[in-house]
Amino acid sequence: MSYFEKQNLQSNKLVPQEPVLPRLHPTQQIKDAVQSGDLRSDALLQSFAYFAVEGHWSRVWHLADALKREVSILFDAQGWIWVDIGTIGMVHVSPPIGSELPLRLWVHTHPWSAYWSDTDRRTLAGFSGALQEALVLGHDHLVRSIGSDPETNPVGRKLSSNGPLRYWTDEEPISYRTFRE
């Protein structure tokens, strides 16, 4: 995706979304939803939420890969879940209607490798103070960052030495299997 395409996406107004009920749909319904391209179908949104609640991060990535799109999943303090489906190269977090702070976890997929892109870093900086943890999912691994107060919980490796990202850990990539253990 070109720089100009990303800029056009960023200028579009984000539509606030309701939370999604986690529910695993039958495989055929999920396949049908992928083929139809209905990105707001219950089969997709609820299945993404189900995989996330269960911590099946590799399944989240594989379903996003089947769509050829990036996906964002947000958990709030109450455990409610919001799912956004973007393009092959970017996903925005829509305003989560009814969410309660602090946001516990933000997860999103990348097309292949998990890393903290410039866009991810800007998003984390914007969420700083309102978000506790973030994951980026890749094809066979993930990266995690935890936000903390360096005065009460010093951060080892940080995403940045200054600004809001100095409050976020910079952890090594880890396999899904190791992360689950």
Report whether 123 contacts 93 (CB < 8 A). Answer: yes
Q: What is the pLDDT of residue 12?
A: 57
Residue 152, pLDDT score: 62
Residues of the chain with pLDDT under 70: 1-12, 149-155
- Residue 8 has what pLDDT? 46
d(CA 167, CA 128): 8
Quick one: pLDDT at residue 63? 98
Q: Is the peptide bond before 96 cis (omega within 30 degrees of 0)?
A: no
Contact yes or no for 137/109 (Cβ under 8 A) = yes
Residue partners of 177: CB distance under 8 A and separation at least 6: none
Residue 38 has what pLDDT?
94
Q: How confident is the model at residue 150, as a pLDDT?
A: 62
